[in-house]
Amino acid sequence: MDSRDWIRDGVRAVAGGLLAVPLAVVNLPLFLFFVVGLVLTPVFGIGLLVLPLVTLLIRARADAARRLAAGRGVAISRPYRPRPEKAVFGGVGYYRWLITDPATWRDFAWLVPGTVIGLVLAVFTLALPVYGAEGILLIPLWIWLGTDSYGYGMIWPIETLGEGFLSLPQGALILAIGIAAAPYLRRADALFNRLFLAPTRAAELRLRVSQLTVTRADTVDAQAAELRRIERDLHDGAQARLVALGMTIGLAEEIVDADPATARKLLAEARETSSAALVELRHLVRGIHPPVLAERGLEGAVRALAMALPTPTEVTASLPGRLDTPVESAAYFAVAEALANAARHGGARNTAVDLWHTGDSLFMRISDDGRGGADPSGGTGLRGIERRLAAFDGTMSLSSPPGGPTVVTMELPCALSSPKTSPSSGTG
Amino acid sequence: MRVVLAEDLALLRDGLTRLLEAFEFQVVASVDNGPSLLPALLEHKPDVAVVDVRLPPTFTDEGLQAAIAARQRVPGLPVLVLSQHVEPLYARELLTDRAGGVGYLLKDRVANVAQFVDAVRRVAGGGTAMDPEVVSQLLARHQPPLAALTGREREVLGLMAEGRSNGAIATKLFIGEKAVSKHISSIFTKLGLPPSDDDHRRVLAVLAYLDV
Q: Does B53 touch chain A (CB under 8 A)?
A: yes
Task: Specify whether B142 is located in the same domain as B121.
Answer: no
Judging by beta carbons within 10 Å of its beta carbon (0-12, 13-18, 19+), is residue A207 exposed, middle or buried? middle
- Contacts of residue B91, defined as CB under 8 A and 6 or more positions apart, other chains included, come to B104, B130, B134, B212
Q: Judge whether A130 and A110 are in contact, CB under 8 Å.
A: no
Which of B34, B38, B87 is closest, CB to CB, to A304?
A: B87
Task: Specify whether B173 is located in the same domain as B111.
Answer: no
Chain A residues with CB inside 8 Å of B65's CB?
424-427
CA distance A416 to chain B (A): 18
Task: Specify whether B17 is located in the same domain as B119.
Answer: yes
Q: Judge whether A195 and A79 are in contact, CB under 8 Å.
A: no
Q: Does B137 touch chain A (CB under 8 A)?
A: yes
Position B173: which residue type?
L
Asked whether the bond before A405 is cis by omega within 30 degrees of 0, the reply is yes
Task: Specify whether B11 is located in the same domain as B28.
Answer: yes
Instruction: For A150-214, give the DSSP string.
Output: --BTTB-S--SHHHHHHHHHHHHHHHHHHHHHHHHHHHHHHHHHHHHHSPPHHHHHHHHHHHHHH
Task: Specify whether B106 is located in the same domain as B139.
Answer: no
Task: Specify whether B126 is located in the same domain as B161.
Answer: no
Name the nearest CA neighbour of A198 among A71, A75, A115.
A75
The DSSP symbol for B27 reads E
Task: Specify whether B53 is located in the same domain as B152.
Answer: no
> Measured between alpha carbons, how far is B212 from B207 in angstroms, rounded to an integer?
6
The DSSP symbol for B154 reads H
Name the nearest CA neighbour of A417 among A355, A353, A362.
A362
- Contacts of residue B136, defined as CB under 8 A and 6 or more positions apart, other chains included, come to B158
> Which pLDDT score, from 0 to 100, does residue B140 have?
83
Q: Does A278 touch chain B (CB under 8 A)?
A: yes
Q: Does B33 touch chain A (CB under 8 A)?
A: no
Task: Specify whether B7 is located in the same domain as B50.
Answer: yes
Name the nearest CA neighbour of A240 among A274, A287, A268, A288.
A274
Judging by beta carbons within 10 Å of its beta carbon (0-12, 13-18, 19+), is residue B154 exposed, middle or buried? middle
| Count of the separate structural domains present in chain B | 2
Over the stretch A21-57, which tens digit does the pLDDT of each residue have?
998 889 999 999 999 888 888 776 777 888 889 999 9
- Specify the fold of A295-413: Heat Shock Protein 90 (3.30.565)
> Which pLDDT score, from 0 to 100, does residue A387 have?
85
pTM > 0.95: no
Q: Does A310 touch chain B (CB under 8 A)?
A: yes
Q: For residue B32, name the pLDDT band (cuts at 50, 70, 90).
A: very high
Chain A residues with CB inside 8 Å of B137's CB?
307-308
Q: Does B149 touch chain A (CB under 8 A)?
A: no
Q: Does A276 touch chain B (CB under 8 A)?
A: no
Which of A286, A309, A426 is closest, CB to CB, to B85?
A: A286
Task: Specify whether B72 is located in the same domain as B123.
Answer: yes
Q: What is the CATH number of the domain that holds B114?
A: 3.40.50.2300
Instruction: Tell me which residue range forms the domain holding B205.
Output: 135-209
Name the nearest CA neighbour of A288 among A353, A209, A234, A239.
A234
Q: Does B69 touch chain A (CB under 8 A)?
A: yes
| Record: contact B60-A309, CB cut-off 8 A | no
Among residues B115, B130, B145, the one where a domain terminates is B130
In this prediction, the residues of chain A whose per-residue pLDDT falls under 70 are: 1-2, 44, 139-150, 156-159, 346, 376-380, 418-428
> Which pLDDT score, from 0 to 100, does residue A427 have?
35
Task: Specify whether B104 is located in the same domain as B34.
Answer: yes
| Record: contact A271-B84, CB cut-off 8 A | no
Name the residue of chain A whose CA is nearest to B84's CA.
A282
ipTM of predicted complex: 0.83
Q: Judge whether A390 and A350 are in contact, CB under 8 Å.
A: no
Which of A300, A304, A422 is closest, CB to CB, to B58?
A: A422
CA distance B123 to chain A (A): 22
Size of the A and B interface in Cβ pairs below 8 Å:
73
Among residues B70, B95, B130, the one where a domain terminates is B130
Q: Judge whether A346 and A374 are in contact, CB under 8 Å.
A: yes
Can you name the residues that pair with A396 across neighbouring β-strands? Answer: A410
Q: Does B11 touch chain A (CB under 8 A)?
A: no
The DSSP symbol for B143 reads H
Q: What is the mean pLDDT of residues B173-198?
A: 89
> Which pLDDT score, from 0 to 100, does residue A40 have?
82
Which of A278, A291, A427 is closest, CB to CB, to B66?
A: A427
- Contacts of residue A197, defined as CB under 8 A and 6 or more positions apart, other chains included, come to A62, A65, A66, A69, A76, A79, A106, A107, A110
Chain A residues with CB inside 8 Å of B12's CB?
none
Over the stretch B132-177, which tens digit does the pLDDT of each residue have?
999 988 888 877 778 888 989 999 999 999 999 889 999 999 999 9
> Which pLDDT score, from 0 to 100, does residue A377 have?
66
Q: Does A428 touch chain B (CB under 8 A)?
A: yes
> Which pLDDT score, from 0 to 100, does residue A189 have?
92
> Measured between alpha carbons, how far is B42 from B104 in angstroms, rounded to an integer?
20
Looking at A91-100, A417-426, B95-104, B116-125, which range is the least confident one? Answer: A417-426
Task: Specify whether B121 is located in the same domain as B30.
Answer: yes
Task: Specify whether B105 is located in the same domain as B40.
Answer: yes
Q: Does A271 touch chain B (CB under 8 A)?
A: yes
A28: helix, strand or coil: helix
Name the nearest CA neighbour of B208 among B71, B102, B74, B64.
B102
Among residues B77, B101, B130, the one where a domain terminates is B130
Q: Judge whether B209 and B194 are in contact, CB under 8 Å.
A: no
